[in-house]
A and B are shown apart, each in its own frame.
Chain A
Amino acid sequence: MKKIFLTLITAIATFGFSQKGETITVKGSDTMVIIAQRWAELYMSKHPDVTVQVTGGGSGVGISAIINGTTDICNASRPMKKSEKEKLKQRFNTLGVEIKAAKDGLAIYTNDNLPITELSLAQLKDIYTGKTTNWKQVGGPDTKIIVYGRENSSGTYVYFKDNVLDGEDFASSVQTLPGTAAVVNAVSKDKNGIGYGGAAYAKGIKLLKVKKDVNSTAYAPTEENVKSGDYPISRYLYMYTRSRPTGVMKEYIDWILSKEGQEIVTKVGYFPVR
């Protein structure tokens, strides 16, 4: 029986070691899809032997994929939760490697025609939890607020819930949309709409200034304000790998953090970490 056991082990080991080609799969945050695609396009043009496949789906989807072993890199617009790290530990016996790839001011979008320029965090919380339902309550016109948000698989959704709603649930009237681009599109066509998402997507809409409380100064999500910490809802954009990256993957990540990679961050509309 011992011979059978050793033979089977050898067979499985041989069968099991299938070498992957030089393809890097990247999955996760919709907020980061634009920047991840730009990185991939430029990198592939300079390294034709490497293929970088980028897909979105949301931070939660990306994190599940890295835990399940179905992606090499996970993009996430929020840090991994303790429970998610535990799952990674269970399957791969690693803690995962967190790479801060860019910084983002979580922008608040309204329609260009809405005569509102700033909101406080408390006002935003009241709007998104359903306590404030009319623009008049926050100094705007006497019209209903149409609230747009993201699906719960989105890292932006989680970040907004944790940092703006203080963990409270979104109101059931919030219309959830499948990506930041969809939120921007909806707000641009809805004069009473409000939405949130990455600053890089802000086209055809207005970005509100945000203040910590009623008595504070309101700040726009500019590079200066995000970097200084004055803009109250800023966050890092992360990349996660299961293990310490080596080979082609390490070269790709090093390039993203290089001057060239970080220039793309700025071009797309986010803020570099270096």
Chain B
Amino acid sequence: MKRIIFIISLLVAVYLNAKSQDSSSVATKDEVAEVKGAVDGINETVLEMKSTLDALKKIKISGYIQAQYQAAESASVGSYAGGNFPQNVKSRFQVRRGRFKINYDNDLTQYVLQLDVTQSGVGIKDAYASIKEPWLKMASLTAGVFDRPFGFEISYSSSSREAPERSRLFQTLFPGERELGAKIELAPENGPLSYFNLKAGVFNGVLNNSNENDRHKDFIGRAGFQLPFEEEGLAIDGGFSVYTGAVTANSKKIYEIDNSSSIKKYKVDSTITNLGDGFDRNYYGFDLQLYYDVPVIGGATLRGEYLWGTQSGTDKSSSFYNPDAAGSSDVKSIIDGKKVTDLYMRNFNGWYINYVQNIGLKNQFIAKYDVYAPNKDVTANDIGAVGSNLNAGDIKYSTLGLGWIYHWDSNVKFVLYYDWVKNEKVNTLATGTLAPFKNDLKDNVLTLRMQYKF
């Protein structure tokens, strides 16, 4: 009997245990299904987040601030080292550049907007759209406001450039560097053609922030090469650039140098048909950059550009003739009771040479020399001579700059730079506004700059 009871008890126990295991197994399956559902949900969420993140990754934000202190040799000097010093001002603090750039990079298409925020206000530096052809990926079209495709220094970013400012000739001929227009660029990434590049575009020819004010469009282009000699640690880059355009005179008085005269002076052409006619604005230039990896010390570069051409300007300035922006003191005629700015034609040339030596990881030494002759047809002695009507816009300048850069880290750098500015000394008989130019003006400038870039 005991034996039967024991067997029945055992069977009941086994049955109950099996039942318990069944229910436990069902519970485990439910839990697994629940976890699987949760994981699938997380996977879906991750995929959604990934697509959002991928879109956000295309937005690139960058910028830099250049805060600086400058001391001039004398108060109120005219300067190309960051703008003229105001009346009675000999030293100043400035935010020279405060850039904020947003770039939406969709691989073959790009949106770029760059603002400049300084104590002078907010300005647009770049605003352009760009597309690259999808087949060979070597040609692109850009339209909007962007750097003029001329030479080297214009498109060399101010945040990377070692000297604090561009050369006087570029600041004069290409104020603001940017222009409104459209360009095509060919820049193969691979193969033998990758040693060459071409940029060419059509532009308003006014300024990046002005409306077109004449019927002319200007052509700007550069054909360049980049030759790397990696074994030797050497690279040679360069190019030839052309700017061909015109300005529209809103005065009938056009001044040109009279080469037949014993005293170099302007002769005026007052033909009525000059009014509204187009006058040359043609520049040509060569640029060359050598890079060499100096053993132990670090990389060095020697860059230079030479420009020449014809400029239509005003009497006080050899910047391009832009009646909308002409200074109040520029020579004006009266037409129909309105003051209009007379046009001065000049043949110019100019060049610069710039040496930069990296010293270790953090230091750079800079030496730069630039010359700008706004009117190469005249000499210093012609300016201010009796019977001459040459003026301040004809004076030649040279600038020697020496400086040092210390890179604090990958974001911050300090720049110490000194500009020795020399104007040619005009005729000793010069009077009026030309009289100060009988001597070298005291317009050297010391710049101490801190830059933060991200």
- Within 8 Å of chain B (Cβ to Cβ): is A53? no
Closest CB in chain B relative to A61 CB, distance in Å: 13
Inter-chain pairs besides A93-B357, A172-B54, 17 sampled, C-beta below 8 Å: A4-B446, A5-B446, A8-B448, A16-B406, A17-B363, A82-B194, A92-B358, A93-B291, A93-B292, A94-B293, A94-B358, A95-B234, A97-B230, A97-B233, A169-B107, A176-B50, A243-B298
- Within 8 Å of chain A (Cβ to Cβ): is B444? yes
Contact B293 A95 (CB under 8 A): yes
Residues facing A in B60-83 (CB within 8 A) are 71, 73
Closest CB in chain A relative to B149 CB, distance in Å: 16
Q: Are A1 and B73 also in contact (CB < 8 A) when A12-B404, A15-B406, A172-B50 are? A: yes
The CA-CA distance from A90 to B358 in the complex, in Å, is 11
The proximity string for A residues 89-130 relative to B, scoring 1 for CB distances below 8 Å and 0 otherwise, is 111111101100000000000000000000000000000000
Segment at the A interface, from B28-36, B304-312, B314-322, B410-418: B410-418
Q: List 12 A-B contacts (CB under 8 A).
A: A1-B71, A1-B444, A2-B418, A5-B416, A17-B363, A94-B358, A95-B228, A95-B234, A152-B57, A243-B233, A244-B295, A246-B296
Contact A244 B444 (CB under 8 A): no
Residues of A within 8 A of B (CB): 1-2, 4-5, 8-9, 12-13, 15-18, 20, 68-70, 81-82, 85, 89-95, 97-98, 152, 167, 169, 172-173, 175-176, 242-244, 246
Q: Are A94 and B414 also in contact (CB < 8 A) when A16-B362, A69-B361, A69-B407 are? A: no
**What's the A-B contact tally at a CB cutoff of 8 Å?**
104
Residues of the B chain whose Cβ atoms lie less than 8 Å from the Cβ of A242? 299
Contact B47 A173 (CB under 8 A): yes
Residues of the B chain whose Cβ atoms lie less than 8 Å from the Cβ of A18? 362
Residues of the B chain whose Cβ atoms lie less than 8 Å from the Cβ of A13? 363, 404
Residues of B within 8 A of A (CB): 46-47, 50-51, 54, 57, 71, 73, 107, 137, 156-157, 160, 189, 194, 228, 230, 233-235, 291-293, 295-296, 298-301, 356-363, 404, 406-407, 410, 414, 416, 418, 444, 446, 448
Contact A91 B160 (CB under 8 A): yes
Question: Which 6 pairs show the lowest CB-CB distances between chains A and B?
Answer: A93-B299, A94-B299, A68-B410, A93-B301, A16-B363, A94-B293
Closest CB in chain A relative to B410 CB, distance in Å: 4
Closest to B411 in A: A68
Closest CB in chain B relative to A38 CB, distance in Å: 27
Closest CB in chain B relative to A63 CB, distance in Å: 13
Contact B414 A12 (CB under 8 A): yes
Contact A89 B406 (CB under 8 A): no
Most chain B beta-carbon neighbours within 10 Å: one of A16, A69, A173, A175: A16
Contact A69 B416 (CB under 8 A): no
Contact B233 A244 (CB under 8 A): yes
Closest to A1 in B: B446
Closest to B363 in A: A16
Q: Are A92 and B50 also in contact (CB < 8 A) when A5-B416, A12-B414 are? A: no
The residue from A2, A85, A93, A176 contacting B356, defined by CB atoms under 8 A apart? A93
Closest to B107 in A: A169
Contact A12 B416 (CB under 8 A): yes
Residues of the B chain whose Cβ atoms lie less than 8 Å from the Cβ of A85? 228
The CA-CA distance from A18 to B407 in the complex, in Å, is 12
Contact A92 B416 (CB under 8 A): no
Contact B230 A95 (CB under 8 A): yes
The CA-CA distance from A129 to B31 in the complex, in Å, is 36
The CA-CA distance from A97 to B228 in the complex, in Å, is 12
Contact A12 B406 (CB under 8 A): yes
Closest CB in chain A relative to B157 CB, distance in Å: 8
The CA-CA distance from A70 to B361 in the complex, in Å, is 9
The CA-CA distance from A274 to B363 in the complex, in Å, is 37
Contact A243 B293 (CB under 8 A): yes
The CA-CA distance from A90 to B364 in the complex, in Å, is 12
The CA-CA distance from A17 to B293 in the complex, in Å, is 19
The CA-CA distance from A94 to B406 in the complex, in Å, is 18
Residues of the B chain whose Cβ atoms lie less than 8 Å from the Cβ of A152? 57
Contact A92 B298 (CB under 8 A): yes
The residue from B235, B291, B293 contacting A244, defined by CB atoms under 8 A apart? B293
Contact B295 A246 (CB under 8 A): yes
Closest CB in chain A relative to B325 CB, distance in Å: 32
Q: Are A98 and B230 also in contact (CB < 8 A) when A82-B194, A246-B296 are? A: yes
The CA-CA distance from A18 to B358 in the complex, in Å, is 14
Contact A243 B446 (CB under 8 A): no
Closest to B54 in A: A172
